[in-house]
Chains A and B, each alone.
Chain A
Amino acid sequence: MTMTFSALVLTAVLAAATPAAAQGTADLIVKLRGPASLATADARDAAAARLSQETGLPLRAIGLTSGGELMLGIDHAVLAERLTAAARTLPGVVSAETSRGPTVVLETEAGSGPPALAAIGDRLAQATGTPVNARFKGNAVVVEASQEQLVGQATRRLQGLPEVAYAQPNFAVGINPPPDPMIRKPL
């Protein structure tokens, strides 16, 4: 007998490393070797598609920097599709659907608990090549793909490509003051 166990909510990017990144700032800065021009949007899209192919990660071009670097972001929509499709192939999964977030509804056998949950996370990670963490949230299961982990993985894979001179996350930067208050001085 099968029964609906819970809803598995797949959110492609949660737990953002930085608010700036969470607000949609580009994730990666990539400098390509060679004279290839990235001046046009088409050229940047083509480069992003090529790099996606070579890294196995869904990447999209965002722009060009003053240093001639390609700004890339993780393509969340494509990533969600991949995760959803992979979830549908997992044993015991009755259905997996993407909606806002995206969300996958999972049906599995009764009695499944945390061990099964961990296995789901591992299998999704293995199937998609994407680091994910699964957890219960109410009556649902939430799988989080950490942006920090995703960007780190993408950076490492990009750095390993011969055509990439360097690749790095678009780090968040702040003023990071000492923990002291502003002390006003009337003049």
Chain B
Amino acid sequence: MHARTDASLPNSRALAKPLGTLRQESEARGSGYRCTVTSASALALGVSLLWGAVGADAQELDAQAPMDVVQSLERVRPARAVPGEIIVKFRESEGPAPRLLPETAAPLGLSTAAVPTSGGELIYRLNVGVLLQAGSANAVAERVARTVAQLNARDDIEYAQPNWIVYPSATPADPGYASQWHYWLNGTGAGQSPGGINLPTAWDTTQGNPSVVVAVIDTGILPAHPDIAGSPNLAAGYDMISNAFTANDGSGRDADPSDPGDAVAAGECGPGEPAEPSSWHGSHVAGTIGVGHSNNSVGVAGVNWHTRVQAVRVLGKCGGSIADINDAIRWAAGLPVPGVPTNSTPARVINMSLGADVPCTSSPATQAAINDAIAAGVTVVVAAGNSAMDASGATPAGCIGPITVAASDARGFLVTRYSNFGPRVDIMAPGGDVRRDDNGDGDPDGVLSTVQGGYAYYNGTSMAAPHVAGVAALLLSQEPSQTPAGVLARLQAAAMPRDATQCPKPCGAGLLNADLFGEGEGGVPERLPFQYTAKVICGLQKDERVGAATPALYGTIVNIRNSAEPDGETVLLTKELALAIPPGFQEQGKLLPLGRDKLEASHALATDCDDLRKRADGGLPDFFDGFVTVRSTGSLDVSAVYTTAAIDREGRLVGQAGIDVEPVAERVAGNGGARADLTVTKITNLGVSCPGGGGTCVTTVDAVVTNQGSAPASLPSTTRGMLDPAQSITVDRSQGPLAPGASGSVTFTSPPDGNCFDPDCTVCVTADALNAIDESDESNNQLCATHPG
């Protein structure tokens, strides 16, 4: 951007924006940056320049206060060019320096006034009338794109382009941020970390929203901490600890979730148990999510600069009880809890950095509580656990429904010395490793956050989970209608995949990536297993020598539909265009990104030739032929509609020749579409024996699991048997890999007192109960059988 002064700024109404944005804008001006820091400020300044550049007209328009236009421009993040500005480079020629003449500029909607650049280009602007007629940033951008295309088609112009805005990524001013490698851009350059989660890129788009409440079910909060005191990010919470000894605050449940400490003396938690200092665990976790002030030049930053963090206290001296935690889950979700006032600010996200090393099947009450929270639209995030074991053996990590988070270090590797792992892990996030200093900064590579008396490095999956909860909150601040399943899908789609060296044991979809919003490379999900490729042919083709296309006017519409039921999952998709014709076109052989879309269940969208031209920034010729590739997080119905209109030798339309509709085949990345399909084909030999009398009966049953899919089930899976009554007797058996068509047998034996007959006995067996295998049909995994007593 070129010269600007404070005087060129529009009035303050146009600059209404978060404090952090204003501060950064001020710093940017003061330090003489050529580019502004945030989109909002950049757009505002861009508009102010526009007003300033058009002289009297602008003054008049400013007097008319077209604030709706200005404010709409400010609000729109995707526009990444100075509104209305075009950089034009004319070809070298003899004579006076080339410029756009009025008769040329007027039809293009351009002012003839131009500002020279250091590169010999001229910066033209759309005239004010055109800008106001457009009325929105998107419309302005589209108009600029069209004009750029028209200019590029001229022989006397070497190139024309929008005046792109380049943003230094937003970083908070907190001094501790220099040690919070876990937030940094992922990479190895300056200010980057291979263990970073790209938060600065996300912060360019959103720093959170106070409407998104994140509940931290933990040891409580330190409201007087210097980084937390007076923070607008601290919401009212609750102390859900029933037991006064555990609570350590002289009472049972109450409305004060302050953390009085959880220090214990030797033996206080049982014979042989050592003394422990207070952990201040809840404040550390909440600090990562963003309970404190961020970007305030004090302490550390949080994942969210603006959010509401709600402390729900369940852990105290010697831990806590699962009953209190179950109640806390429901309370945080806004559901009733006997004897406790209803939560007036229900959470959209719950973080639980806690656990017990018992499988979730042993705590059906916890599964029920989690089910209730998810049904209420709450995303539940849990730590995988720190026992270096399969997370399926822990609660709530092994429960169905929550996002289970393993821990990574500053290299982006799974911390194998403590982090739980396995098929129940959905994603990995920085938990740190205080025994390492891979970034060589002289500090341990832990996660830095708030504790009593200051700040401290901790490590553990407890620290990993709040990174995910925080990013989920950022996502919800932008996409408030996301469901818990949708949040997980978005996070997994964007995750940075890990190889076997980085994750020698299963760590889910990979390393958390907060870059969920941009349109750049980092914003494109890397896990888009579904792929559709549709032929496209567009435009007026008059030249018989061009390709195989007969001279005609061609049109293509690619229809994309998410056929899931209305309450099904939203699918994220990207579109790319590969050009085959015209030969020699500068983009031939390249993939032109066409942006990305979200498609809610039972919704459809279409891409036609005009859309392709617009999405390709106006850089396409009149006639082109190629392929549109759609890649998506879920299965879609894709078809292409082709229209052909005949033309005469002069290129005039002489009538419509035909319409053709073709379905587009689905391919699944990785194995050409072939997938395993595990199903239970047989339940046999159901029997009960009571060797010790009527009270010690044991039920046994055999089942056969078959892979009826076209690809091997290459990972071990869990086959689960559930025996009546109430299927409360659950037995898991490991099933090894199964080739296509192969079967495996398992035998389930109930624990003592497991008499299934009451009087009948119903047995349900589920293949791949923990969803370790990607199957072509996930709905046929269970078989039930009832035997009369």
Contact = CB atoms under 8 A, between A and B. Distances in A.
A83 to B, nearest CB: 20
A19 B323 contact: no
Contacts of A175: 218-219, 279, 281, 315, 319, 353-354, 460, 462
Which of B277, B320, B435 has most chain A Cβ within 10 Å? B320
Contacts of A172: 318-322, 356
Interface residues of B, number: 84
B327 A65 contact: yes
Nearest to A158: B728
B459 interface: yes
Interface in B237-254: 242-246
B417 A182 contact: no
A15 B273 CA distance: 13
B635 interface: no
A132 interface: no
B629 interface: no
Contacts of B500: none
Contact of A171 (B245, B363, B457): B363
Contacts of A65: 323, 326-327, 338, 365
Nearest to B317: A19
A118 B218 CA distance: 44
Interface string A1-36: 000000000000001101111111110010101000
A175 B279 CA distance: 9
Contacts of B729: 159
Contacts of B353: 175
A37 B387 CA distance: 40
B455 A185 contact: yes
B456 interface: yes
Contacts of B327: 65-66
Contact of A170 (B246, B271, B321, B443): B321
Contact of B728 (A18, A63, A66, A159): A159
Contacts of B318: 18-20, 172, 174
Interface in A109-163: 156-157, 159-162
Contacts of B395: 171, 173
B15 interface: no
A69 B725 CA distance: 17
Contacts of A69: 365
Interface residues of A, number: 50
Contacts of B753: 156-157, 159-160
B726 A171 contact: no
B726 A180 contact: no
Given A66-B337, A174-B356, A187-B175, A25 B321 contact: yes
Contacts of A178: 386, 417-418, 459-460
A159 B697 CA distance: 13
A180 B434 CA distance: 7
Contacts of A177: 279, 281, 386, 458-460, 462
Nearest to A173: B356
Interface stretch (B106-114, B444-452, B596-604): B444-452
B372 interface: yes
A72 to B, nearest CB: 11
Contact of A25 (B243, B446, B754): B243
Interface string B370-389: 00100000000000011100
B372 to A, nearest CB: 7
B386 A23 contact: no
A71 interface: yes
Contacts of B300: 187
Nearest to B729: A159
A46 interface: no
Contacts of A164: 725-726, 728
A30 B631 CA distance: 47
B354 A173 contact: yes
B688 interface: no
A174 B418 contact: no
Nearest to B353: A175
Interface stretch (B328-336, B575-583, B645-653): B328-336
Contacts of B336: 66
Which of A31, A156, A174 has most chain B Cβ within 10 Å? A174
B235 interface: no
A167 B728 contact: yes
B368 interface: yes
B726 A18 contact: no
Given A18-B319, A64-B338, A177-B386, A166 B365 contact: yes
A156 B363 contact: no
Contacts of A25: 242-243, 246, 321, 323
Nearest to B352: A173
Nearest to A67: B368
A23 B318 CA distance: 10
B119 to A, nearest CB: 44
Given A66-B330, A183-B444, A173 B325 contact: yes
Which of B335, B368, B457 has most chain A Cβ within 10 Å? B368
A178 to B, nearest CB: 4
A183 B446 contact: yes
B320 A173 contact: yes
Given A23-B245, A31-B364, 11 more contacts: A19-B269, A65-B323, A67-B326, A67-B330, A69-B365, A172-B320, A180-B434, A182-B277, A184-B451, A184-B457, A187-B454
In the A-B complex, list the 4 residue pairs whose CB atoms are closest, starting with the nearest: A174-B319, A19-B318, A178-B418, A66-B330
8 contacts: A16-B270, A26-B321, A159-B729, A170-B322, A172-B321, A177-B281, A183-B434, A186-B454
Interface of A: 15-16, 18-26, 29, 31, 33, 63-67, 69, 71, 156-157, 159-162, 164-178, 180-187
